């Protein structure tokens, strides 16, 4: 009986440790996306269009342009092209954690800030 329990545990451990989340990051390098988030208790939606080197954000009748520099297939740095404050001038590190057919889950933080990471989900709309 004990041998059966140990064999079952090893079998489960083997198959659960081999499971990896899907990460087809290349599918999300370019395109049009939406990102919904909460700001001051209110849900907001932002839309952005990205190609290999440029991202254009559309939010509440405002348009912002950002440079995009890919580190690898799943990580990139976004930096505003025309910042209006020191805070806006800080670059943001983005990392795609998982992907599905139309969405990707990502983590982001100011470059160099390892303690204040946020997560979000972006949906490809094109």
Instruction: Give 50-106 pLDDT, tens digit per residue.
Output: 998 999 999 888 899 999 999 999 999 999 999 999 989 999 999 999 999 999 999
Whether 1 maps to a domain, the answer reads no
The CA-CA-CA angle for residues 118, 121, 122, to 5°, reads: 125
Whether 35 maps to a domain, the answer reads yes
pLDDT bin (cut points 50, 70, 90) of residue 9 is: very low
How long a stretch of residues is the chain? 126
Whether 16 maps to a domain, the answer reads no
Whether 14 maps to a domain, the answer reads no
Check which CATH number belongs to the domain holding 103 and give it: 2.40.128.20
**Whole-prediction pTM:** 0.78
Neighbour tally for 26: CB within 10 Å: 11
Token pair recorded at residue 108: 């982001």
Whether 10 maps to a domain, the answer reads no
Structural domain for 97, as ranges: 22-124
Whether 34 maps to a domain, the answer reads yes
* pLDDT digits 0-9 by tens, 40-62: 888 888 999 999 899 999 988 88
């Amino acid at each position: 009986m004990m041998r059966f329990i140990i064999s079952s545990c090893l079998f489960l451990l083997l198959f659960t440790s081999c499971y990896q989340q899907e990460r087809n990051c290349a599918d999300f390098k370019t395109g049009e996306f939406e990102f919904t988030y909460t700001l001051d208790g209110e849900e907001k939606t932002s839309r952005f269009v990205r190609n290999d080197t440029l991202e254009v954000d559309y939010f509440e009748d405002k348009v912002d342009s950002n440079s995009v520099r890919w580190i690898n297939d799943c990580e990139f740095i976004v930096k505003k092209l025309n910042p209006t404050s020191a805070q806006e001038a800080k670059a943001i590190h983005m990392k795609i954690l998982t992907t599905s057919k139309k969405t990707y889950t990502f983590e982001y933080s100011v470059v160099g800030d390892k303690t204040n990471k946020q997560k979000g989900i972006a949906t490809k709309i094109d």
